Amino acid sequence: MPLKQLAPGEMTDDDLRDWCSVLNDMTAADMPAEPRWRTDSLREYLTATLPEDRRHLFLDRDADGDLVGHAALILFGGEQAGTGVVEMSTRPSARGKGVGTRLLRAVAECAKAGGCRTLSVEVIATTPAVGFYDRHGFARSTVEQRHLLRWAEIDWEKIEHAAGRLAAGYRLEYHAGGVPDRLMDSYADVKANLRSAPGNVAFVPEWRGSAYAPGLRDSFQTLASRGMRSHIAVAVSEPYGNVVGLTELVVSAQRPTRADQYDTVVAPAHRSYGLAMTMKARLLTELRRAEPQLVDVQTWTLDTADDVRWINGELGFVHDVDWYDYEADVDKLLARLTRPA
């Protein structure tokens, strides 16, 4: 059967089950300790995007109709227009048969048609995907270290102590699903610090998916629409009631035993008070009550972020694997993919 491009809303129930099956076969082969994907809210996960973004899906089935690989392409709009992110998965039994290359060519052609100039992809350093993207000319742009906090190994007495060590003049608030309107403007102001180059613990580049302040309401709504539960702790400065620090975690319906650490940011004028540590510890105590099914929390840090690793280490996070960020120029990628063998 030919490779098929479709809109997320066109996915059938069989497509969704097959999509999940490929992901889990790949996970079992490459990183067997990782949690498996579920079809819970998978349609919503693949469908919902920010208003200015577009997602395209690609399915590659063999002659018997079995799904052997799939890809998702997100084309960003707004300030990130011209860039896109691709996620590709190939069933291990189908590797070496050109599935990945067919999918990548379809993705590149769609990206070109959509005005995308640069494609990026995240690759786990210990998996065969590294060689695949190297061969296709992707350039490694960033190395990130993933750290895991295993729930069964948490020193809760230490976490509770850290959560209570709050400097005078501040209070902490916890919010599930987003932040209230009274905090939204100052929350957005703090998030805007992510536009600056990270140089210390005030900027914790743990995940870049919500690194832009505009459209925060859309971001929270999109996460909820995708079946992803947001958990947020903020540091509020007294007596004005403004957010001066924040940390975010998300738990998805598709992998509910794992929480993903998103951004942790402290406003420049409020650094050196230990707010990042206190907020992250407080959020863990809230997760203990709100998400009792959790097995672990994952976070990513740049390999140069020594202060961030120190905070995570104090909380119990342990480095387990590196992730590579790869980038490719769309025109050059297409030229390679269409070059005669």
Please tell me the predicted confidence (pLDDT) of residue 80. Answer: 86
Query: Residue 68: pLDDT above 50?
Result: yes
What is the average per-residue pLDDT within 51-69?
A: 95
pLDDT confidence of 207, banded at 50, 70, 90? very low
Expressed in angstroms, the distance from the first to the final Cα of the chain is 23
Please, which residues bridge with residue 298 across strands? 148, 260
pLDDT confidence of 58, banded at 50, 70, 90? very high
pTM: 0.91
Query: Residue 209: pLDDT above 80?
Result: no
pLDDT confidence of 214, banded at 50, 70, 90? low
Closest CA to 80 of 49, 47, 38, 103: 49
Asked if 149 and 301 touch (Cβ cutoff 8 Å), the reply is no
Query: Residue 210: pLDDT above 60?
Result: no
What is the average per-residue pLDDT within 2-10?
A: 92
Give the tens place of pLDDT for each residue, 217-245: 888 999 999 999 999 999 999 988 999 99
For the chain, domain boundaries: 4-145+325-337, 155-315
Please tell me the predicted confidence (pLDDT) of residue 1. Answer: 65
Pick the CATH number of 155-315 from 3.90.850.10, 3.40.50.300, 3.40.50.2300, 3.40.630.30: 3.40.630.30
Alpha carbons 141 and 106: distance in angstroms, whole number? 23
pLDDT confidence of 205, banded at 50, 70, 90? very low
Q: What percent of the chain is predicted at pLDDT more than 70?
A: 93
Asked if 144 and 325 touch (Cβ cutoff 8 Å), the reply is yes
Q: Is 82 helix (H, G, I), strand (E, B) or coil?
A: coil
Instruction: Judge if 4-145+325-337 and 155-315 fold alike in CATH terms.
Output: yes
Q: For the chain, how big is the Rg over CA atoms in Å?
A: 21
Give the tens place of pLDDT for each residue, 272-330: 899 999 999 999 999 999 999 999 999 998 877 788 889 999 999 999 999 999 999 99
Query: CATH homologous superfamily for 4-145+325-337?
Result: Gcn5-related N-acetyltransferase (GNAT) (3.40.630.30)
Query: Residue 201: pLDDT above 50?
Result: no
What is the average per-residue pLDDT within 247-251?
A: 96
Question: Residue 66 has which token pair?
Answer: 């079995």
pLDDT confidence of 252, banded at 50, 70, 90? very high
- On average, the pLDDT of the chain sits at 91
Alpha carbons 261 and 248: distance in angstroms, whole number? 6
Asked if 67 and 59 touch (Cβ cutoff 8 Å), the reply is yes
Q: What percent of the chain is predicted at pLDDT more than 90?
A: 83
Query: Residue 195: pLDDT above 70?
Result: no
What is the average per-residue pLDDT within 46-73?
A: 95
Asked if 338 and 331 touch (Cβ cutoff 8 Å), the reply is no
What is the average per-residue pLDDT within 66-94?
A: 94
Closest CA to 47 of 57, 38, 39: 57
